[in-house]
Structure 1
Amino acid sequence: MGANVMNAFRSRHEERYRDAAVGDGLGRERSPSRLLGRNAALLGAGAALAAAAVYVQMRTREAENTNPPAGRFIEVEGVRLHYLERGQGQPLVLLHGNGSMIQDFETSGLIEEAAKHYRVIAFDRPGYGYSTRPRSTIWGPQAQAELLHHALHLMGISRPIVVGHSWGAMVAATMALDYPGAVKGLVLMSGYYYPTARLDVPFASQPAIPLIGDLLRYTVSPLLSRMMWPAVLRKLFGPKEVPERFAREYSVWMTLRPSQLRAAAAEAALMIPAAFSLRNRYRELDVPVAIVTGSSDRQVSSRFQSERLHDEVRRSTLHVATGVGHMVHHFAQGEILSAIEEVGKELPQRQAVPRIHAQRIPLH
């Protein structure tokens, strides 16, 4: 009887082992070749990710070697901020949009034109260009405004005119709201000020997801973003063509570095909540505000963003560049410089400026 029990136990054990080895839990057998195929697929995927990581690292190093820091650095509250300073006169601070960096303002020609009359300070916002972005802070508009306020204080710069483009416009507006005596005036370009449904946010914010986002940023995301780059530019610059200088001088792979993709993804995720938190505060702005927008902006609605802001801000003027898209500073520099001058004079009236046709100022 003991032998029979042992044989029965052995038979059941062998049956379970056989099921685990060759079954898939649904009564189907897995052949050795099928198991080998699955393992080969996993190994192939791992090898592809490793190859992608090596390629991304190579392109990142190449981009940084080709585009070294053009400005200076200042350490503020554990953040290493990179900034470019040009010209003399009244201080003028430039804040770029999401996914961008100082190079955008350089290739537009705005820095060199403004530097003829102002002391221009263009910042790489946290995580962009050569500025760091510590994970310990949620870098919404308030946190960035506080950081830049302290940076300007350390630099001995008081009451600058602050120019913000796109996401940077929220930061600029927050600087004036939270530190009203420290800002002389605002020029807000192509800004996103009020929360709206954004179909691009779920995809754009994926690289900011903990763990999985880190894997994506160092492997797949830069490659996919590079494939989508022409379409992204068409949306940003359209209906105009991408300017030759931007196409020639702006570094694609500086933008696609893992560190910068993390910042861009985080700001994509923060965009709607940030606009929601600011939506009822704009009426508190008590500095001159020039609002500049393109009539054909495909990224944000001029009507529901810039025109609405103009309706709510008492000391504001509205400048609409006809036939221009989101990258208004590349095509309507003359109007932007006029808006900066207008704000510098602290004109108190509220008005809508007639629509203007985009023109380029000759670059010298």
Structure 2
Amino acid sequence: MNLLRRRRRAPRPASTLAWTLGTLSALALANHALARLTERRHPPQGRFIEVDGTRLHYTDRGTGQPALLIHGNIVTGDDFNTSGVADLLLKTHRVIIFDRPGFGHSTRPRNRPWTAAEQAALIHKALVQIGIERPVVVGHSFGAVVALAFAHQHPEGTAGLVLLSGYYFPTLRPDAWMAAIGAAPVLGDILRYTISPVLGWLSIPLLKRAFFSPAAVPARFDDEFSPSISLRPSQIRATNADGALMIPAVRALENSYGDLAMPVAIIAGDGDKVVFKRAAERLHGEIPGSTLEIVRGAGHMVHHLAARQVARAVQSVSPGRGQPLLG
């Protein structure tokens, strides 16, 4: 009788393994199908350009001094539309917005390390192809690091910089180590097709509050931000990779901040819990002639609460500054 019981119990580990693999496979198929459905429901609104084997999605609107807007992690280039910054700038500028590699409708080939410097170089090549010269470069969060890399690589080709809620100096960041796990080959691929989207759906409400705190999440952001776009496996990979490369990116740049000769405007929220305002204050001290604006009551998504201040900053660093500043 005891022997019979042992024989019945023996297959349990194999059954558990089979059940686990079946569950993960079902999640992977479901997440893949949801990603394709999301892309059909949110079709691209702009144009595409092929650069070094990477297909970049972008919009190019308006006339006047070019302003290049570079978004942060999790969101896409459309975040500058949702915040109202793009609409304000269109009154006086030609506004170019890219989905960074792996975000939105842009691809992210695996054949290179997508550092901030690599992304900046790719965007510059795209601008050359579409005939854009000497833009004012605006970057938010990780996009601010890409903007700094762009200015470092092409100082004569950068009319001015506007940096929003950027991470500018190396610090201990637990989120960077967590992102490194998600960016790891094989393990990261398994996670982003199975568990990561599920965890993402559960954490998005908390993340939104954390990004905007101490301010409330704007109704327009709630209406227009699509978690399903951000939680596609392809964009999860891009977000994790950028998070993992965040510290090395600023290490590569921090000693060159004092060499920036173009006009630089720095804006941060006094309540930012993602990148504390002291990073902006320190950068202001490193860049001669830069301006600093700390927005009271704003968090990491400062451009949503202070869209007019951002637009005025862009105008203040634009060549000629012939147009009156926005009120």
TM-score range for the pair, normalised by the shorter chain length: over 0.9
Deviation at 1:34, TM superposition (A): 2.6
Q: Deviations over 1:262-292 (max 9, x none)?
A: 1111111100111111111101101000001
Structure 2: distance between partners of 1:110 and 1:318: 18
Three-state SS of the structure 2 residue aligned to 1:119 is: strand
Which residue in 2 is equivalent to 1:282? 257
Which structure ranks higher in relative contact order (CA pairs < 8 Å, sequence separation ≥ 6)?
2
Structure 1: distance between partners of 2:277 and 2:84: 24
Structure 2: distance between partners of 1:98 and 1:45: 31
State whether structure 2 residue 188 is matched by structure 1 residue 213: yes
State whether structure 2 residue 63 is matched by structure 1 residue 88: yes
Does the CA contact (< 8 Å) of 1:86 and 1:111 recur in 2?
no
Three-state SS of the structure 1 residue aligned to 2:171 is: coil
Normalising to structure 2: TM-score of the pair? 0.94
Deviation at 1:252, TM superposition (A): 0.6
Structure 2: distance between partners of 1:98 and 1:346: 32
* One-letter amino acid of the counterpart of residue 185, structure 1: G
Which residue in 2 is equivalent to 1:18? none
Does the CA contact (< 8 Å) of 2:28 and 2:193 recur in 1?
yes
Equivalence map 1:135-174=2 (5 Å): 135-174=110-149
Which residue in 2 is equivalent to 1:332? 306
Deviation at 1:88, TM superposition (A): 1.3
Does the CA contact (< 8 Å) of 1:63 and 1:251 recur in 2?
no
State whether structure 2 residue 288 is matched by structure 1 residue 317: no
Structure 2: distance between partners of 1:345 and 1:217: 44
Which residue in 2 is equivalent to 1:44? 19
Q: Deviations over 1:201-232 (max 9, x none)?
A: 22223221111111111111111111111111
Deviates more, 1:285-294 or 1:78-87: 78-87
Percentage of identical aligned residues: 47
The alignment yields a C-alpha RMSD, in angstroms, of 1.7
Equivalence map 1:46-61=2 (5 Å): 46-61=21-36
Which residue in 1 is equivalent to 2:216? 241
Which residue in 2 is equivalent to 1:62? 37
Structure 1: distance between partners of 2:176 and 2:204: 17
Deviation at 1:333, TM superposition (A): 0.8
Which residue in 1 is equivalent to 2:81? 106
Matched pairs, number: 320
Q: Structure 2 unaligned runs (5+)?
A: 322-326
Which residue in 2 is equivalent to 1:191? 166
Deviation at 1:36, TM superposition (A): 2.2
Does the CA contact (< 8 Å) of 2:85 and 2:308 recur in 1?
no
Structure 2: distance between partners of 1:160 and 1:215: 40
Does the CA contact (< 8 Å) of 1:75 and 1:81 recur in 2?
yes
Structure 2: distance between partners of 1:210 and 1:193: 27
| Partner residue of 1:261 out of 236, 239, 245 | 236
Structure 2: distance between partners of 1:293 and 1:156: 32
Three-state SS of the structure 2 residue aligned to 1:74 is: strand
Which residue in 1 is equivalent to 2:151? 176
Which residue in 1 is equivalent to 2:324? none
Q: Deviations over 1:23-80 (max 9, x none)?
A: xxxxxxx922332222221121112112211221222122111110111011111111
Deviation at 1:136, TM superposition (A): 1.1
Deviates more, 1:189-198 or 1:56-65: 56-65
Which residue in 2 is equivalent to 1:343? 317
Which residue in 1 is equivalent to 2:97? 122
* One-letter amino acid of the counterpart of residue 261, structure 1: I
Does the CA contact (< 8 Å) of 2:159 and 2:319 recur in 1?
no
Structure 1: distance between partners of 2:280 and 2:43: 35
Structure 1: distance between partners of 2:178 and 2:245: 13
Q: Deviations over 1:64-106 (max 9, x none)?
A: 1111011101111111111012211110000001222112112
Q: Structure 1 unaligned runs (5+)?
A: 1-21, 23-29, 348-360
Q: Deviations over 1:120-163 (max 9, x none)?
A: 00010111111111111111121111111111111111011000
Deviation at 1:258, TM superposition (A): 0.7
| Partner residue of 1:292 out of 267, 279, 291 | 267
Structure 2: distance between partners of 1:70 and 1:237: 26
Structure 2: distance between partners of 1:36 and 1:338: 69
Three-state SS of the structure 2 residue aligned to 1:75 is: strand
Three-state SS of the structure 1 residue aligned to 2:261 is: coil
Three-state SS of the structure 2 residue aligned to 1:319 is: strand
Larger radius of gyration: 1
Structure 2: distance between partners of 1:339 and 1:83: 23
Structure 1: distance between partners of 2:187 and 2:285: 42
